[in-house]
Chain A
């Protein structure tokens, strides 16, 4: 298998990443009563973000399998990685 075609999302250790729609985002922000900048962040050049084509200010839903909770969701806002 050539390394070029391998998507990080197919790796067992990488959880699901999805870009959320505007409605989903509004819903999320209102359930937690927060603004955009209170969300955890993820860099725009994160391999998983690149793989799903996330742009800066997008919000990514990450779904993990958890030993104790079964399924754990978290959300991150894509930000630009600062230089250096």
Chain B
């Protein structure tokens, strides 16, 4: 559907002096504002014709009081024309393309034809400065043209070389310029893309200055009763004062020099009045030294009129506070402090069916002191739309008067739908609908599993909350934006919400290999999602029933789940041993029973979550949400069953390992020295396309990289799955084996732009090294581990390498932020119409079928519209 009104065209023009005088209600001649009695001077800057700001006074133009008078423009007659700074580039262009004598466009009809094409075929193309060659002869009157020089901010001059070959410069006064522009014929202006009916070029030089209404520049009365004028008023005072002096001097026939000085001063004041941040012009300052905020500054920038006041939206019914985690709540909930819930409200209409309930809320009033109390109400709205604030005095009378037709602003209570948001809102999952859960404390609480879509952590992050106020808004929030609807990301068709950190370590520890639990253990683990009946025990020993860890996990799976895949801990062996996998990473689920394999990041993690994705495809998003709740809670119990911690001694190795590591590093050092010797002897064979130096550098990097990896292997051999860091790395919860290598083994080569560190002093990185030393230590190889500690030189190199990473992230975020802003601006109004076309608001078609195939990517399976493999797997119940 096209929008009801269509903008045909927008015309940009200039205000002509005639128009300025016509819209003016008063000529302003006095630079003063108020007289000693505090009454505005007639024909002064605060003239009562320009509108009123003091309550009680009436506008002399429209007769309205301060609240109703919109304000009216006045004008100042300038003694001589001055340039409008905003149009200096236009003036420069016009001076350069027009003749200094006859003011015609400096192009003959033939040349015109060459540039724009024959007259019938012309489109909107216009002549630019570049189309005219400099210092030529006018094709119309034959006058020699001079070069026009423009000096910021507002000085124009003509430059030419005289008979003696000397450069001559002559300043053009605004009056000269105005004279030239006045003579440009209308037809020539059209060729330049200017419509002379709305914008004659001479209007870019001001002869009359409009004086904005006082409502636009109100004065404030300070505490001591003194009036403080607006910056614009101050500037206008300056302009009038100079203008007056200028006129007097002119009438008295003052010498040219004085006139010119005053003219320039007037130009300065008018320039800074329009824009106080012009290049090449010292900004006008307040007495305190603060630069004045004049017209351009009011409009420009982030806090300006456009971005700050007109596009900037502030909303009611919103709250913001710090967030903190609570793994015991559902992913679809958000914990809200009572203080926030008491302040925020939902309007409910009074009907015969709910009047008693609502009356109880009104009687309760705005006070609610504990989580268990029922909610009260903050306002009642009468049928005539008058708001009544509820307090001790009003509750009873309002409760009595309450009848259908009233609306009551009820406080938030458990189960209300709210929108939760974290900036930067880069994708749609940055705003999701949650259910309210009232809580003690002063922070918003959320389940750590929903951190990935918000990209939130709890190091002081704050988040915003909005309360939808109508049934439609609530329905929309619930059906489109709720957390359950957003588990699958439209970015890649997989789950973006899922277990993180401890959830993954926990489920890994719980499900790895085979373990047996007694009944009490099983109940402990499944505390928050106990099934109605426990399944048959996996084994009975000495009359005691035991359930396996895989059985425990299976209890939270739907019964008809069938899938086979390899977990994150899979080492990608050449030949998969399948069920006999040493890492227990061959995951088989048959009819909702975990047969073999370990559950880790690949199964329940955010961004991967194979099991989660399959559950959502088979059982819908709500079952998916349920599964996240169950699995995260189970994994938290799982991690608590044994406990999980990490300390400095987890990085300890035995003497044998340290010896091995030292040997490996020494060997590498010797290897590097050997290669350097070969290079120095000139025996080195360069690699194809590389110089000798590059070849050597690459070899050294390779040798040292290998040495680092070897130390990692040595450390890894010693640290098994009993080590917490290894568990985290293997399960995919956090960190990698590389991190562990650097903690226990060797940090390795520090690099800047992928190369060894070479910058610093002449021919050396630090004064501790010999000039031209190519050895490993001299170019940022860190032998030590984080545990053993770095030498000063190593520490310095490490800081260099670390800095590069920081700079990279800083640059990347600003760049991608700007890219995102531009993309959002371009795409924000597109929508998919009912016929599946993607259209703009004007009904213009962008795509004939959304995404060529009309599929919703968040309903796809990692990009494919149909999950063939998954369906097959489910039917055949074996790996495909």
Contacts and interface: CB of A to CB of B under 8 A. Distances in A.
Contact of B852 (A38, A39, A40, A72): A72
A6 interface: no
Nearest to A66: B852
Contact of B124 (A38, A64, A74, A82): A82
Contacts of A38: 842-845
A14 B198 CA distance: 47
Contacts of B168: none
A16 to B, nearest CB: 15
A68 B848 contact: no
A4 interface: no
Interface residues of A, number: 18
A16 B791 CA distance: 66
B95 to A, nearest CB: 23
Interface string B838-856: 0000111111110111110
Interface string B120-131: 000111000000
B845 A39 contact: yes
A84 interface: yes
Contacts of A39: 844-845
Interface residues of B, number: 20
Given A68-B865, A69-B854, A75-B848, A80 B123 contact: yes
B845 A72 contact: no
A53 B507 CA distance: 65
A44 B460 CA distance: 57
Contacts of A37: 844
A66 B852 CA distance: 7
A32 B852 contact: no
B835 interface: yes
A72 B837 CA distance: 13
User: Which of B123, B835, B845, B847 has the most chain A CB atoms inside 10 A of its CB?
Assistant: B845
Contacts of B837: 32
Contact of B853 (A40, A72, A82): A72
A11 interface: no
Interface string B849-870: 1011111000000001100000
Interface in A25-84: 32, 34, 37-40, 64, 66, 68-69, 72-75, 80, 82-84
A25 to B, nearest CB: 14
Contact of A69 (B124, B125, B852, B864): B852
A68 B855 contact: yes
Contacts of A73: 848
Interface string B806-848: 0000000000000000000000000000010100001111111
Interface centre among B123, B844, B855, B864 (most CB of A within 10 A): B844
A4 B282 CA distance: 62
Given A32-B837, A82-B123, A83-B123, A68 B843 contact: no
B854 A40 contact: no
Interface centre among B843, B847, B864 (most CB of A within 10 A): B843
A80 B117 CA distance: 14
Contacts of A68: 851-853, 855, 864-865
Given A32-B835, A82-B124, A84-B125, A74 B853 contact: no
Nearest to B860: A68
A74 B123 contact: no
A80 B847 CA distance: 21
A41 B668 CA distance: 63
Contacts of A34: 843, 845
B858 to A, nearest CB: 15
Contacts of A84: 125
A32 to B, nearest CB: 6
Contact of B125 (A32, A64, A83): A83
Contacts of B844: 37-40
Nearest to B865: A68
Contact of B846 (A32, A40, A66, A82): A40
Contacts of B849: 69, 72
Given A39-B845, A40-B845, A40-B846, A82 B125 contact: yes
A54 to B, nearest CB: 19
A74 B123 CA distance: 28
A74 B847 contact: yes
B845 A69 contact: no
A56 B37 CA distance: 74
Contacts of B835: 32
B833 to A, nearest CB: 9
Interface in B109-126: 123-125
Given A83-B123, A83-B125, A74 B842 contact: no
Given A32-B835, A39-B845, A64 B852 contact: yes
Nearest to A28: B848
Nearest to B128: A84
Contacts of A75: 848
Contacts of A80: 123
B815 to A, nearest CB: 28
Residue among A64, A68, A83 with most chain B CB within 10 A: A68
A57 B880 CA distance: 53
Nearest to B855: A68
Contacts of B843: 34, 38
A75 to B, nearest CB: 7
Nearest to B835: A32
Contacts of A64: 852
B492 to A, nearest CB: 14
A32 B686 CA distance: 65
A39 B847 CA distance: 9
Contacts of B864: 68
Nearest to A64: B852
A36 to B, nearest CB: 11
Nearest to B117: A83
Contacts of B865: 68
A84 to B, nearest CB: 7
Contacts of A72: 848-849, 852-853
B785 to A, nearest CB: 48
B853 A32 contact: no
Given A82-B125, A84-B125, A32 B855 contact: no
A70 B483 CA distance: 33
B6 to A, nearest CB: 12
Nearest to B854: A69
A48 B835 CA distance: 29
Interface-centre pick from A39, A66, A69 (highest chain B CB count, 10 A): A69
Interface string B702-734: 000000000000000000000000000000000
Interface string B391-404: 00000000000000
A34 B842 CA distance: 10
Given A69-B853, A69-B854, A74 B125 contact: no
Nearest to A39: B845
Contacts of A40: 844-846
B157 to A, nearest CB: 30
A80 B127 CA distance: 19
- Closest 8 pairs (CB-CB, A-B): A69-B853, A72-B852, A68-B853, A83-B125, A38-B844, A66-B852, A69-B852, A74-B848
Interface of B: 123-125, 835, 837, 842-849, 851-855, 864-865
Given A37-B844, A82-B123, 8 more contacts: A32-B835, A34-B845, A68-B851, A68-B865, A72-B852, A74-B848, A83-B123, A84-B125
23 contacts: A32-B835, A32-B837, A32-B845, A34-B843, A37-B844, A38-B842, A38-B844, A38-B845, A39-B845, A40-B844, A66-B852, A68-B851, A68-B852, A68-B864, A68-B865, A69-B849, A69-B852, A69-B854, A72-B848, A72-B853, A73-B848, A74-B848, A80-B123
